[in-house]
């Protein structure tokens, strides 16, 4: 089994354990369930410059521990102050050290910004969980789901008021999975089987994603040059975790990147 297969096998067990503990009707009674969600797609579509989706990520299968010294409520508020367009908070415990507790701390500290529940969605029960913790958006990973599952899960997500980020890594996944139930297309620069990252993946796939979709580039992003290059290929948003989380002050790392982006835009006289 490769790591992705292991993650999905464990996730399916976890979902059946959770279903036995808490029913959907119990989730529907949680505080945030009826909260009005906020659209990340709209914010990205309307933006005239590249925008950052900042991730709270404690560890990962590719890098092990990234940062276990920081608090989600502080980091995410700092991200918002530094201009993040949306937040992404890992809720997978076993492989990423995330939790609902982290997510709820981020949600309570930041009421006015869209937050992605970053996890491996394999069952519609998890959409109800996402709603209950105050998520605005969920992730569907084409490498983990059939095209039929993507349609069913994304329709159900929309019924619940959640936006759908579809993650693809190659042309086959894109051709098989893209449909009108998708709000944002994310091209993952990381190969989830080998963990290699290459921004060429985003460049290659950019041409194949119709302009009607908001597109973002994910993983392995570190600097303003790369972001501006990808922006010129039509990417409006950039999902960044490790580059920020490696530092003692992830919010300051985002603020520094935003400064670099502004400077590079001015120096290159780009019309952004
Ligand atoms: O990050 C990993 O090692 C990983 C391994 C297996 C499946 C998914 C993985 N990452 C999830 C992500 O999508 C990233 O957290 C996200 O794109 C941010 O990437 P980065 O900026 O490189 O932390």
- Give the distance (Å) from ligand 1 centre to CA of residue 23: 30
Kindly tell me if the per-residue pLDDT of 149 is higher than 60. yes
What's the pLDDT score for residue 269?
56
Spatial separation of the C-alpha atoms in residues 85 and 52, rounded to whole Å: 6
Rounded to two decimals, the ipTM of the complex is 0.98
- The fraction of the chain above a pLDDT of 70, given in percent, is 98
- Spatial contact of 235 and 217, defined as CB atoms under 8 Å apart: yes
Q: Residue 58 has which token pair?
A: 């404690």
Give ligand 1 pocket residues (Cβ under 6 A): 3, 55, 57, 60-62, 188, 192, 195, 218-221, 239-243
Over the stretch 30-41, which tens digit does the pLDDT of each residue have?
A: 999 999 999 999
Domain 3-32+50-267 has CATH 3.20.20.70: yes
Strands 59-60 and 64-65: antiparallel
Compute the distance from residue 219 Cα to the ligand 1 centre, in Å.
6
Task: Note the pLDDT of residue 135.
Answer: 98
pLDDT, tens digit (0-9, with 9 covering 90-100), for 92-115: 999 999 999 999 999 999 999 999
Give the residue, by CA position, lying nearest to ligand 1 atom 3: 62
Q: Which atom of ligand 1 is nearest to the CA of 90?
A: 15
Residue 22 has pLDDT above 70, yes or no: yes
- Whole-angstrom Cα distance, residue 128 to residue 131? 5
pLDDT of 31 reads 93
Residue whose CA lies nearest to ligand 1 atom number 7: 192
Q: How far is the CA of 243 from the centre of ligand 1 (A)?
A: 11
**Other CB atoms within 10 Å distance of the CB of residue 68:** 9
73 close to 105: Cβ distance less than 8 angstroms = yes
Distance of CA 36 to the CA centre of its chain: 19
* pLDDT for res 192: 86
């Amino acid at each position: 089994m490769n790591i992705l297969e292991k993650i999905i096998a464990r996730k399916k067990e976890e979902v059946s354990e959770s279903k036995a503990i808490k029913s959907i009707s119990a989730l529907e009674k949680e505080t945030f369930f009826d909260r009005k969600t906020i659209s990340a797609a709209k914010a990205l579509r309307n933006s005239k410059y590249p925008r950052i989706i900042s991730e709270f990520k404690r560890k990962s299968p590719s890098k092990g521990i990234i940062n276990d010294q920081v608090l989600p409520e502080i980091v995410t508020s700092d991200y918002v102050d530094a201009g993040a367009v949306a937040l992404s908070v890992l809720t997978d415990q076993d492989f990423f050290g995330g939790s609902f507790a982290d997510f709820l701390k981020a949600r309570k500290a930041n009421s006015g910004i869209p937050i992605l529940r970053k996890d491996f969605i394999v069952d519609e029960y998890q959409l109800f969980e996402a709603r209950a913790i105050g998520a605005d958006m969920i992730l569907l990973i084409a490498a983990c789901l059939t095209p039929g599952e993507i349609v069913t899960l994304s329709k159900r997500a929309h019924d619940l008021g959640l936006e759908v980020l579809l993650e693809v890594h190659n042309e086959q996944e894109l051709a098989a999975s893209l449909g009108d139930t998708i709000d944002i297309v994310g091209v993952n620069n990381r190969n989830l089987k080998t963990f290699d990252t290459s921004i060429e993946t985003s460049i290659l796939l950019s041409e194949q994603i119709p302009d009607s979709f908001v597109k973002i580039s994910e993983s392995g992003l570190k600097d303003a040059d790369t972001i501006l290059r990808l922006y010129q290929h039509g990417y409006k948003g950039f999902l960044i975790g490790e580059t920020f989380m490696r530092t003692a002050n992830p919010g300051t790392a985002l603020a520094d990147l935003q400064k670099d982006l502004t400077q590079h835009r001015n120096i290159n006289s780009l019309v952004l």
